[in-house]
Structure 1
């Protein structure tokens, strides 16, 4: 293996950790995608995990997709869409209409990361 390849392999774990620990977006507005990822876990498995880790999770269905409102059901802080695909799920998270940060964004991102891996 050449030196460049060794350096890239050595830097890969650091790059993955940096991606998971992104700083909260203070400019994200209502409807703007915060997280877009895929997971090998099913939508129902991810939803159950998020319900265990976070308070105030309200679940609904939209066709094939599961929709989770995090926070007040009428004024959610975060909206999570879980759509099944051939390998598990596609996860899309947007800010809800609420101006509150309940739960705090860092805690919410951590729960999403835990529940989708």
Structure 2
């Protein structure tokens, strides 16, 4: 019983912690998870040409795209190279520009 009482404050503190941005979104449930035969660089270029406010970065071979304003991103897209193309993971952010339908259409056009 004493252990439980001693651990309760730690559990409360752990529950209160939060993080923001792509790091927290990377572990969120993806709204799109697919694979494509196209390379990540080609998909990134295509999405950049079809959507506005696309910010591209690379980290350990993974191409990360942030869609929307830098302070209120709408979507986080990870393009991970695979043996036969790329794996696409999309997580929703806090913004709503572009609308989800427009994003899904762009992804469909750029990954086939």
TM-score, normalised via structure 2 length: 0.73
Match of 2:86 in 1: 89
| Partner Cα distance (2:54, 2:98) in 1 | 11
| Partner Cα distance (1:74, 1:45) in 2 | 26
Asked whether 1:103 is paired with 2:98, we answer: yes
What do the CA deviations read for 1:8-49 (whole angstroms, capped 9, x no partner)? xxxxxxxxxxxxxxxxxxxxxx62200000000000000000
C-alpha displacement at 1:75, in angstroms? 2.2
Superposition CA RMSD, Å: 1.0
Aligned length, in residue pairs: 86
Asked whether 1:48 is paired with 2:7, we answer: no
For structure 1, the 5+ residue unaligned runs are 1-29
For structure 2, the 5+ residue unaligned runs are 1-24
Structure of larger gyration radius: 2
C-alpha displacement at 1:68, in angstroms? 0.1
Partner secondary structure for residue 32 of structure 1 = coil
Partner secondary structure for residue 48 of structure 2 = helix
Where do 4+ consecutive residues of structure 1 move more than 4 Å? none
TM-score, normalised via structure 1 length: 0.70
